[in-house]
Structure 1
Amino acid sequence: MGKTSKDKRDIYYRQAKEEGWRARSAFKLLHIHDAYGILNGVRRAVDLCAAPGSWSQVLSRKLYDPCQNDAEKLATKIIAVDLQAMAPIRGVVQLQGDITKESTAEAIISHFGTDGEEKAQLVVCDGAPDVTGVHEMDEYMQHQLLVSALSIATVVLETGGCFVAKIFKGNATGLLSTQMQIFFNKFDIYKPPSSRSSSIEAFVVCSDFCLPPGYIPQVINTARDDIRILAQRTGSEVNRSLVPFIACGDLDGHTSFNNPSEDESDASDIMDDIKYDYDSFMSDELYPQEFKQVYEELQYTRITSLQ
């Protein structure tokens, strides 16, 4: 354990202590800004999954100036959202909420003026789920968290805005790129120098936000919502086409458990008919059979929990 602690105390760890950052991850956002200039001209920003608050600190120091006049201070809005409470940060409004809930998006919008006429210019998210140790499952869960962050961004971002979020690199990167380019004209994946080389994390950097014509923003939670029903609620044909694709990876699509017309007594028969389709990264050439069995058991557990 002592060795692990020493390994974490790299140059950015020590520098974070010296400069008063709450975590070394502050340098990741600073490096992303150095590479892409995401904070230039920004006055309204949202930090999702903000705890312990290092990214909110960066936003505070870069965007909020205590020497500004009252009008300029009012024009600067920084909203930090997390399920956990954080110690106060100058110029940052904190919301305790779940980013997978529509009420959280509405609470964020309410801070950007009457009826949200001034939306956020930047949405960032450095959140990550608790890792299981199974890379493919961790990548999947991170992807779903990213879907939730993206869906909130579509609600609170103004046209031309930017979105930055953590991802776990893997075989789903190509799909992720296609999904992001639905909403952003510019998309890149960047690994800042402050991100440890041993880490599988990287960051999506998306800019020039623009909603597809006819699309109505929705807050998506693949673990809670039936994506097919969710896509129909707005009445938009565009949503019916895009929402299932944006939430690609939701295992509801392999079954008909959530079909309102399905008789619940037939659930056991449906289970007998389930077939698992493995992605290319689960091929026999890349992974041993026992690993595939673990992956299948994890899929089975998730499916049964959704009944």
Structure 2
Amino acid sequence: MSQNSSHPPRALKVKLKKARGRTPSQQRWLQRQLNDPYVLRARREGWRSRAAFKLLELDDKFRFLEPGQRIVDLGAAPGGWSQVAARKIGIVDESGAEREKARGKIVGIDLLPIEPMPGAEFIEMDFLDDDAPARLVALLGGPADVVMSDMAANATGHKKTDHLRIMGLAETGAEFARSVLAQGGTYIAKVLRGGTEGALLADLKRDFANVRHFKPPSSRSDSAELFVIAMGYRGEDRVAAEQGDAG
């Protein structure tokens, strides 16, 4: 499968043949899916979702996925990001088959069931559960090198509400990341532009050496979607420094 993240060529538009029983919003969504080149390319290349291209493009830009890493995928369903990560860190080969004696570990967590795949382990639970951090670290065999999140709350159609809901997910994801990341680790999360994303960036800069935001080419042009990339987790170093200042 190609991992080239350039824009795919345009295809002729496909029109819905039957709209009976569908709401206008459902019709618009289906029409967009039928004509989305990344949806078509994901099917052709065997990715579980078009979101796979976003992670490919994020890693092309920031190079945070490396062989042998331990990775947590928050809100992992249907598994597209775990699928990309398994290949990037060398757990599976180009065909998607698991390599013998592969190093690294991926654990995906979601409230929804996820179809099993080579190279990743999925658990059905809420990452906000009190025992979730300890359970995930145990499954990984140690602290995580990367915590990544493509989570999004169900859209309401009200921009401010949708922005605040997804920012809440990104903020709680960041708190979770702090509890499981190894020093030097990376946190990636989806956000929406809307006015409060700056506060999240400022908060992450306290704990991470390098904090950026980026809109991958495969993110729809009419979407307010961005991704926050926080690299170089300071971990206990920052806590020790703050305690020293307080003393």
Fold match, TM over 0.5?
A: yes
- Corresponding residue for residue 226 of structure 2: 202
Where do 5+ consecutive residues of structure 1 fail to align? Answer: 216-235, 239-307
C-alpha distance in structure 1 between counterparts of 2:70 and 2:129, whole Å: 21
- Corresponding residue for residue 157 of structure 1: 181
Once the two structures are superposed, what CA deviation does each residue of 1:249-275 show, in whole Å capped at 9, x if it has no partner? xxxxxxxxxxxxxxxxxxxxxxxxxxx
Asked which structure has the greater CA Rg, the reply is: 1
C-alpha distance in structure 1 between counterparts of 2:68 and 2:58, whole Å: 15
TM-score by length of 2: 0.79
Cα–Cα, structure 1 residues 135 and 214, in superposed 2: closer, same or farther, change >3 Å?
farther
* Number of corresponding residues: 212
C-alpha distance in structure 1 between counterparts of 2:98 and 2:214, whole Å: 34
Alignment of 1:1-307 (within 5 A): 2=27, 4-8=29-33, 9-63=35-89, 64-65=91-92, 68-70=99-101, 73=102, 75-113=103-141, 118-211=142-235, 212-214=238-240
Letter in 2 for 1:169: R
Percent identity of equivalent pairs: 32
Q: Is the 8 A contact 1:78 1:92 kept in 2?
A: yes
- Higher normalized contact order (CA 8 Å, seq sep 6+, divided by chain length): 2
Q: Secondary structure at the match of 2:60?
A: helix
Where do 5+ consecutive residues of structure 2 fail to align? Answer: 1-25
Q: Secondary structure at the match of 1:102?
A: coil
How far off its partner does 1:199 sit?
Answer: 0.8
Letter in 2 for 1:40: E
Q: Is the 8 A contact 1:50 1:56 kept in 2?
A: yes
Letter in 2 for 1:181: K
How far off its partner does 1:2 sit?
Answer: 4.7
Once the two structures are superposed, what CA deviation does each residue of 1:104-150 show, in whole Å capped at 9, x if it has no partner? 1111011133xxxx311111000001122221111111111112211
Provide runs of 4+ in structure 1 moved above 6 Å. none
Q: Is the 8 A contact 1:60 1:89 kept in 2?
A: no
Q: Is the 8 A contact 1:186 1:208 kept in 2?
A: yes
Which structure: greater helix fraction? 1
Cα–Cα, structure 1 residues 11 and 124, in superposed 2: closer, same or farther, change >3 Å?
same
How far off its partner does 1:173 sit?
Answer: 2.1
